[in-house]
Amino acid sequence: MRYLLDHLDAVKELLTLRPLGLITDIDGTISDIAATPEAAVVSPICREKLADLTQRLDLVAAISGRPAAAARDMVGVDGMVYVGNHGLERWRDGAVEYVAGAEKHRAKVKEALERIRELLPLECVILEDKGVSLSIHYRLCPDVQEVRQLVLSKVATVDVLTDFRVCEGKMVVELRPAIDVGKGVAVRSLVERYKLRSGLYLGDDVTDTDAFEAMHEAGFRGAAIAVLGEESPDGLRRSADFTLNGVSDVERFLAWLAAASARPA
């Protein structure tokens, strides 16, 4: 797989095809993975360069597993589009807008959280209420594989979750409504809405491979960029066009992109 910083000419070619969009994941991409969701912080350099790029590209967006409002607060760049809950919601005009059928699951999420607290009374497990979905983090547990299996087995017994999908990420089990929406669908929606001819997508986890596929569809020129780290899932590298090594490389790339897009292509 090609290391992106050694192949920037390929990105220069994309800069000649406008409208062009830059879409990025947040955690593990522009923010280092932290022990808890609350402890994660977006790189100040990434934030600065993303703000610059909103003035130079046709679209700059973040697609996150976090709620859209939380993603907006975390990144803090005006002019960006924020898509949350893996595509189930979007921050628009100062409010959250849900895809059809998502919001009705809020009550089920509340009920499921209470039930899971009873089934998993472990201090090392963090339950995250994300409104229309929920996440169970086990990164702080001494034996992560044992707790992962326990989480999966307990979740399977919660009746209210029968119409939810069980998905996994880095040290997390995510429960999402069984709606045919993911990061790939979210990318396609942005491509259509902003009439993009080309784009760049940066991501670090298994959920981002769906978005990588959207970068490779007919009639569109895109580059899928895998941000690699110690916890990179199997298949991430294989489904990408280029790789970067961690958030520090993303900082370098965004700085280069801001400078390159400021010049005539």
**Residue 221: beta bridge partners?**
198
Instruction: Report how far residue 184's alpha carbon sits from residue 214's, in angstroms, rounded to the nearest whole number.
Output: 6
The encoded tokens of residue 110 equal 């509340």
Please identify which of the residues 6, 9, 25, 58 carries the catalytic annotation. Answer: 25
Q: What share of the chain is helix, strand, coil (3-state, %, to 5)?
A: 40, 25, 35
Query: Could you confirm whether 208 is annotated as catalytic?
Result: no
| Length in residues, the chain | 265
Tell me the longest C-alpha to C-alpha distance in the chain.
59
**Residue 180: beta bridge partners?**
none
Asked if 88 contacts 108 with a C-beta cutoff of 8 angstroms, the reply is no
Measured at the alpha carbon of residue 197, what is the angle toward residues 196 and 198, in degrees to the nearest 5? 95
Q: Dihedral through CA 68, CA 69, CA 70, CA 76, nearest 10?
A: 110
177: preceding bond cis by omega (within 30 degrees):
no
Instruction: Report how far residue 149's alpha carbon sits from residue 249's, in angstroms, rounded to the nearest whole number.
Output: 34
Hey, which residues are catalytic here?
25
